């Protein structure tokens, strides 16, 4: 347990499965490997991504930037906007 109260930033990944065309960019380029291709299909017949290890997301927003279908977005946790806990 670190003595200073630094905490990594955390974001929550939201996927709009109906818009996804399964290109896999977000899965391939996520720097902390949060995402993976889900086994299920969406209405268009693609495999949309899902957050396999959501705790690893640092809210870098890269997946949101590169998604060609605007089908993924990330929202940071409000409680640790500055990355510091209340301890």
The footprint of another protein (CB under 8 A) covers 1-4, 6-9, 29, 31-32, 58-62, 65-66, 82-83
For the chain, where are the E strands, in sequence order? 11-15, 35-37, 49-51, 72-76
CB of 7 to another protein, least distance (A): 6
CA-derived radius of gyration, the chain: 15
CB of 40 to another protein, least distance (A): 28
Nearer to another protein, 4 or 86 (CB): 4
| Closest to 72 in 3D by CA, of 11, 12, 16 | 16
Cα dist. 37→7, 24, 33, 69, 76 in Å? 28, 7, 11, 16, 22
CB of 50 to another protein, least distance (A): 20
Nearer to another protein, 2 or 86 (CB): 2
Nearer to another protein, 43 or 87 (CB): 87
């Amino acid at each position: 347990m670190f003595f200073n109260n630094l905490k990594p930033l955390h974001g929550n990944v939201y996927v709009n499965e109906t818009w996804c065309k399964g290109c896999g960019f977000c899965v391939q380029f996520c720097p902390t490997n949060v995402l993976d291709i889900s086994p299920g299909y969406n209405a268009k017949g693609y495999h949309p991504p899902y957050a396999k290890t959501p705790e690893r997301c640092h809210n870098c927003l890269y997946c949101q930037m590169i998604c060609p279908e605007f089908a993924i977005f990330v929202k940071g946790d409000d409680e640790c906007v500055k990355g510091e806990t209340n301890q």
